Amino acid sequence: MIRSLLYVPAHSERFLAKAHERGADAIILDLEDAVPEDAKDQAREHLLETVKAVGRNGASVFVRINSGERVVEDAAAACRAGAATLYVPKVRRAEDIVELIAALDKVGAETGRPPITFVALLEDIGAVLDARVIVKAPRLLGLSVGGEDLALSLGAEPTPDVLRLPKLLVHYAAKEQGLLSFGLLQSTADYSDQAGVGAAAREAAQHGFDGATCVHPSLVPILNAAFSPSAAQRDWANRVLQRAAERDGAFEVDGRMVDAPVVARARAILGKS
């Protein structure tokens, strides 16, 4: 279960030092937007140490690589360092992932590591419209949408009304393929608005999103709570499954009919607990 993904600038010793203490399910070592141009090479060269350091409390370690001319070097370094997953920005085609896999074949053979997986970050409207094709790429763990860049590609403001439909389209494509779906249905650039982030995360969880990224550690517990079943949900699910074990066919719980799809939902809730 990956409910919270904490971005950490891969060049910043101050942020790296405590990343493993933040309680995030996954830590995204960011080589892209959070790293100044003149620090990118050094951040990549230190991945072997930083991947081990931030993952020492059990968090999955992802690396967000750069696009363009740095993509293969970044990806190879992350693969050698033992990162579980690459967060790949500006994915526009399934072939972007296929080509990256081919470029990493030699690294995988050299290290003997398990195949690295990918989260495709869709950041323009063309990628959103092609999401059902992109999800066919091999080794995809999940999809996410870059809300700010998507709005920019539309010439729009990153408001909830603007972002809701494209984010849902990508979410539906991920779920149809059985992939994870990360994100909120609105832009949350203001990380100081913890109440707003919590409300957005609960809304996303209701829609079936698995988790979301954040740039500030104060949001990690908020995301973990929002994307976990509540005590009331767990209690309801337990009662549903108890009644289901006692009888065949439909039955009633809390004055509402329960049939096979509802029983399956109860099992899914407890599977996330």
Pairing of strands 85-88, 60-64: parallel
The pLDDT, as a whole number, for residue 268 is: 86
Q: What is the pLDDT of residues 110-152, one digit of tens each?
A: 888 999 999 999 999 999 999 999 999 999 999 999 989 999 9
| 44's tokens | 């990549």
Q: Is 32 annotated to bind ligand?
A: no
- Please indicate if the annotation marks 3 as binding a ligand: no
3-state secondary structure of 125: helix
The model's pLDDT over 192-231, given as tens digits with 9 standing for 90+, comes to 889 999 999 999 999 999 999 999 999 999 999 999 998 8
How many degrees, rounded to 5, is the angle at CA 7 between CA 11 and CA 22? 100
What percent of the chain is predicted at pLDDT more than 90?
A: 75
**Global confidence as pTM:** 0.92
Q: Specify whether the CB–CB gap between 8 and 29 falls below 8 A.
A: yes
User: Does the annotation place 149 within a ligand binding site?
Assistant: yes
**Structural domains of the chain, ranges and CATH numbers in brackets:** 4-228 (3.20.20.60), 232-271 (no CATH)
Q: How many angstroms separate the CA atoms of 132 and 22, rounded? A: 34
Q: Is 68 left (phi over 0), alpha (psi -120 to 50) or beta?
A: left
pLDDT of 240 > 80? The answer is yes
| Cα 165 to Cα 169: distance, rounded to the nearest angstrom | 6
The per-residue pLDDT for 17 is: 95
Instruction: Specify whether the CB–CB gap between 50 and 78 falls below 8 A.
Output: no
Average pLDDT over residues 149-178: 95
Would you mind telling me the total number of residues written for the chain in this entry?
A: 273
